[in-house]
Amino acid sequence: MRSTLHPPSSGRERIAHSIALNVGPLTLQGDLVVPAAARGVVLFAHGSGSGRHSPRNRFVAGALQQQGVATLLLDLLTEEEEAVDRETAHLRFDIGRPDLAGPYLPRVQAPTLLIVGGADPVVLRLNEAALRQLGVRDKELVTVPRATHLFEEPGALEEVARLAADWFVRHFEPEV
């Protein structure tokens, strides 16, 4: 594990680690950033085409970090699988979607927020089905109007970051 100290834009210190997570015979790569006095940690689990180096993912993670939330951006494909998938594209649609969690969705205990582009009817339908199966009471699906799958429209990614930061700050507050 390698760690470095980086000052975020808020002026508070944060610790950044590049990690290698061993899962059985596989090694997954990730980036962990822990702001000073972090109130919780959010795991970003990425499939192919949208990994931990993605500017979109780093933008949302940065918004969370500015609110005092630690982030772990983790690639679900190994480096070898990612190389194969760049050529074949056969793995990218087989990981990371909530509807693929199937029988595990009713067992989810953590509050869950799903954010989907309003102009992405296929992914919206898949997330609606996953939401119905989630076992946790505190769950929500939010659509970003006129946004497509990658939230590339002006202001869409900023809205995703705002929604996510609001959700996690609210859910990481200590219970009294």
How many structural domains does the chain have? 2
Question: Do residues 26 and 53 both lie within one domain?
Answer: yes
Query: Which residue among 54, 77, 96 closes a domain?
Result: 96
Of 21, 130, 13, which Cα lies nearest the Cα of 70?
A: 13
Among the three residues 42, 61, 96, which one is the final residue of a domain in this structure? Answer: 96
| Domain span including residue 150 | 101-176
* Same domain assignment for residues 76 and 158: no
| Spacing of C-alpha 128 from chain mean position | 18
* pLDDT tens per residue, range 153-169: 999 999 999 999 999 99
The CATH number for 10's domain is 3.40.50.1820
Where a domain ends, among 78, 96, 114?
96
* pLDDT (0 to 100) of residue 95: 62
Give pLDDT, residue 9.
Answer: 46
Per residue in 97-147, pLDDT (tens digit) is: 788 888 999 999 999 999 999 999 999 999 999 999 999 999 999 999 999
Q: State the chain's mean pLDDT as an integer.
A: 85
Strands of the chain, DSSP E: 2-6, 14-23, 26-35, 41-46, 70-75, 112-117, 139-144
Considering the domain architecture, whether residues 5 and 78 belong to the same structural domain is answered as yes
Supply the pTM of this predicted model. 0.81
